[in-house]
């Protein structure tokens, strides 16, 4: 049974665990049984299919985000603006409608950025990250604009004006409160990381807090303020009759689990993904329109009520809609001028 012995020695040779003695034994045996060359050559060429190499760099970035707390303890240099967000809390969803509540301390509106000298804007298909003169990092979403003065500390406050959506990671500076003005609400930053959504054409203005504390006030009603704590979201809805009814909604953020990964719906655009959970198509439309820079024409009103959950990453609009068709029946057609017909 020399073949058995050859197999054994071949195995060790393949594993690079063969001794000198065994090697010469193998060579002798192979001269006696030349067929064994086939075995050796073939086996040596068995390689495994490689998964496309995971992009370790971006995996590392995600890793830092997920375990931000482990790395915050190590306060070495703050030189690199490393993205640090959510501490990875798992919170159940609770919806609180706050009718009348005790107001916290007053914020003096102050002179509101009369003539900002710097404007950064993002067109329909771009997102930008920038750093303000004080070290604050801002991620600006598509169709958004940020205005501020280079001399950020002019009024003893750091002030910016936002149209659209942005995520702020505010540099700590207790002496100079950071204030963000949007069309309808003003946000004074007491903590550090949060997302603001204030597209002028939307009915809702939202602020989502991930870390720290922020204080919100409604521009039209300066006496009203409230404080948000981490993982809380504030939404101000303007009623359709344009009468200013402040429906204040504070929600606990519910992390969405899709494919075993946890995303927070409001801020996943930072990862270049669009995440939605159980959204009616009606709700989803403006998100998709902004994401793909298209416009929907809905010929079939039933579709508006269909609910979808999903996550969009690199998909084209056709791919996304095709996937959605698997969930609920509808048809779509791509029309000229970036229009999509749903019927």
Partner 1 sequence: MQDLSNISSLISDIANYDSEAAYKKLFILLFPSVKRFVRCMVKSSPVAEELAADVMITLWRNRADLPGVRNIMVYAFVIAKNLSLNFLKKNSKRQIVSFDDVDITLEADNITPEQILISDELKTRLNQSIDALPPRCKMIFKLIREDGLSYKEVAEILDISVKTVDAQLVIAVRRLSEAVKKEYNLS
The residues that touch partner 1, with contacts defined as CB under 8 A, are 4, 7-8, 10-12, 14-17, 33, 35, 38-39, 41-43, 45-51, 53-54, 56-57, 59-60, 62-63, 66-67, 70-71, 74, 76, 259-261
Query: Please, which residue, 57 or 242, has the CB nearer to partner 1?
Result: 57
Query: Please, which residue, 35 or 117, has the CB nearer to partner 1?
Result: 35
Q: Check if the beta carbon of residue 112 is closer than 8 Å to that of residue 123.
A: no
Tokens of 226: 């409230």
Shortest reach from residue 65's CB to partner 1, in Å: 10
Q: Regarding beta strands 158-169 and 178-181, do their DSSP bridges make them parallel or antiparallel, or are they unpaired?
A: parallel
Report which DSSP code applies to 271. Answer: G
CA distance 201 to 286: 10
Q: Check if the beta carbon of residue 332 is closer than 8 Å to that of residue 289.
A: no
Shortest reach from residue 84's CB to partner 1, in Å: 12
Query: Please, which residue, 67 or 103, has the CB nearer to partner 1?
Result: 67
> In sequence order, what are the residues at sequence separation of 6 or more whose Cβ sits closer than 8 angstroms to the Cβ of residue 235?
204, 205, 206, 247, 248, 249, 251
> In sequence order, what are the residues at sequence separation of 6 or more whose Cβ sits closer than 8 angstroms to the Cβ of residue 63?
none
The dihedral region occupied by 248, where left means phi > 0, alpha psi between -120 and 50, and beta the remainder, is beta
Shortest reach from residue 319's CB to partner 1, in Å: 19
Q: Regarding beta strands 137-140 and 158-169, do their DSSP bridges make them parallel or antiparallel, or are they unpaired?
A: antiparallel
Shortest reach from residue 312's CB to partner 1, in Å: 15
Shortest reach from residue 28's CB to partner 1, in Å: 18
Tokens of 70: 């482990």
Q: How far is CA 301 from CA 70, 297, 305, 324, 341, in A?
A: 49, 10, 8, 16, 12
Furthest CA-CA distance within the chain: 97
H or E, element range at 231 = none
Cα angle 186-245-217, degrees, rounded to a multiple of 5: 20
Shortest reach from residue 219's CB to partner 1, in Å: 41
Query: Please, which residue, 41 or 242, has the CB nearer to partner 1?
Result: 41
Query: Please, which residue, 81 or 123, has the CB nearer to partner 1?
Result: 81
Shortest reach from residue 22's CB to partner 1, in Å: 11
Tokens of 240: 């359709």
Query: Please, which residue, 59 or 280, has the CB nearer to partner 1?
Result: 59
Q: Check if the beta carbon of residue 23 is closer than 8 Å to that of residue 13.
A: yes
Shortest reach from residue 205's CB to partner 1, in Å: 33
CA distance 267 to 167: 8
Shortest reach from residue 62's CB to partner 1, in Å: 7
């Amino acid at each position: 049974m020399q073949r058995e012995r050859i197999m054994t020695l071949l195995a060790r040779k393949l594993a690079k665990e063969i001794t000198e003695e065994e090697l010469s034994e193998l060579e002798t045996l192979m001269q006696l049984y030349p067929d064994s060359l086939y075995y050796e050559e073939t086996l040596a060429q068995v390689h495994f299919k490689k998964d496309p190499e995971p992009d370790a760099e971006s995996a590392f970035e995600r890793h830092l985000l997920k375990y931000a707390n482990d790395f915050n303890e190590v306060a070495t240099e703050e030189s690199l603006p490393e993205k640090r967000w959510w501490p990875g809390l798992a919170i159940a969803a609770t919806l609180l409608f706050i009718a009348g509540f005790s107001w916290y301390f007053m914020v003096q509106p102050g002179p509101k950025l009369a003539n900002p000298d710097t404007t950064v804007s993002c067109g329909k298909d771009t997102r930008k990250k920038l750093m303000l003169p004080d070290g604050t990092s801002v991620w600006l979403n598509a169709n958004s604009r940020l205005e501020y003065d280079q001399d950020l500390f002019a009024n003893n406050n750091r002030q910016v004006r936002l149209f659209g959506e942005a995520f702020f990671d505010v540099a700590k500076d207790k002496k100079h409160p950071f204030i963000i003005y949007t069309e309808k609400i003003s946000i004074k930053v007491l903590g550090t990381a949060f997302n603001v959504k204030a597209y002028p054409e939307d009915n809702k203005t939202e602020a989502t807090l991930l870390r720290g504390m922020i204080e919100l006030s409604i521009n039209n009603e300066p006496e009203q303020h409230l404080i948000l704590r981490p993982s809380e979201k504030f939404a101000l809805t303007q009623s359709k009759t344009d009468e200013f009814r402040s429906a204040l909604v504070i929600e606990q953020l519910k992390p969405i689990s899709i494919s075993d990964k946890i995303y927070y719906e409001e801020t996943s655009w930072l990862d270049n993904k669009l995440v939605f959970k159980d959204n009616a198509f009606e709700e989803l439309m403006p998100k998709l329109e902004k994401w793909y820079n298209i416009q929907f024409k809905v010929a079939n009103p039933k579709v508006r009520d269909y609910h979808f959950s999903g996550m969009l990453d690199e998909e084209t609009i056709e791919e996304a809609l095709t996937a959605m068709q698997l969930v609920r029946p509808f048809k779509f057609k791509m029309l000229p001028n970036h229009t999509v017909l749903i019927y």
